[in-house]
Amino acid sequence: MRPFIFLIFIIFFISASFGDSGFDSMSTNFSVKLFYLTHTLQGSDLDVVISPYTVWSLLMSMAYESAGMTWEEVSKVFSLSENRSEIVEEFRKLRTSVLVNEGTLINSSNFLFYDEHLNVHSDSIRRLENDFRFTAQRLNFEAPQLAADSMLRTLHSHSANIRNLIRIGAEDFVNSTMIMCNCLSFTARWSKPFNVSDTSRDLYRDGNVKGGVNMMYMKAQLRSSNLESLHASVTELPYGDDGRYSMLLVRPDSGHDVGGVLERLREVSLWDILINLRVGAVLFGEREVEVKLPRFAINSRVTLNSPLFNMGLSNVFDRSLANFNKFAEDKMYIGDITQRVTVDITESGTTVHSTTPAYALQTTRTPAKRIPVKEPFIFLIMETYSATILFGGIYSKIDLY
Ligand X SMILES: *[C@@H]1O[C@H](CO)[C@@H](O)[C@H](O)[C@H]1NC(C)=O
Which residues of this protein are in contact with ligand X, per CB under 6 A?
A: 22, 25-26, 29, 83, 85-86, 89, 101, 107, 159-161, 171, 174-175, 195, 197, 267, 269
Q: What is the dihedral of CA 229, 255, 378, 27, to 10 degrees?
A: -30
Taking the least distance from each CB to ligand X, the nearer of 87 and 120 is 87
Secondary structure class of 323 (helix, strand, coil):
coil
Taking the least distance from each CB to ligand X, the nearer of 199 and 325 is 199
Q: How far is the CB of 341 from ligand X (least distance, A)?
A: 17
Rounded CA Rg of the chain: 22
Taking the least distance from each CB to ligand X, the nearer of 209 and 268 is 268
Q: Is 300 left (phi over 0), alpha (psi -120 to 50) or beta?
A: beta
> Residue 375 — φ and ψ, nearest 5°?
-130, 85
Q: How far is the CB of 209 from ligand X (least distance, A)?
A: 33
Other Cβ atoms less than 10 A from the Cβ of 39: the count is 24
Nearest by Cα to 395 from 251, 239, 236: 251
Taking the least distance from each CB to ligand X, the nearer of 318 and 399 is 318
Q: How far is the CB of 82 from ligand X (least distance, A)?
A: 8
Taking the least distance from each CB to ligand X, the nearer of 119 and 197 is 197
Determine contact, residues 368/401, Cβ cutoff 8 Å: yes
Q: How far is the CB of 332 from ligand X (least distance, A)?
A: 16
Determine contact, residues 108/99, Cβ cutoff 8 Å: yes
Q: How far is the CB of 328 from ligand X (least distance, A)?
A: 20
DSSP per-residue letters across 162-223: GTTT----GGGGTT-SEEEEEEEEEEEEBSSPPPGGG-EEEEEEETTEEEEEEEEEEEEEEE
Q: How far is the CB of 323 from ligand X (least distance, A)?
A: 21
Taking the least distance from each CB to ligand X, the nearer of 186 and 395 is 186
Determine contact, residues 114/176, Cβ cutoff 8 Å: no
Nearest by Cα to 34 from 66, 64, 77: 77
Taking the least distance from each CB to ligand X, the nearer of 44 and 176 is 176
Q: How far is the CB of 41 from ligand X (least distance, A)?
A: 20
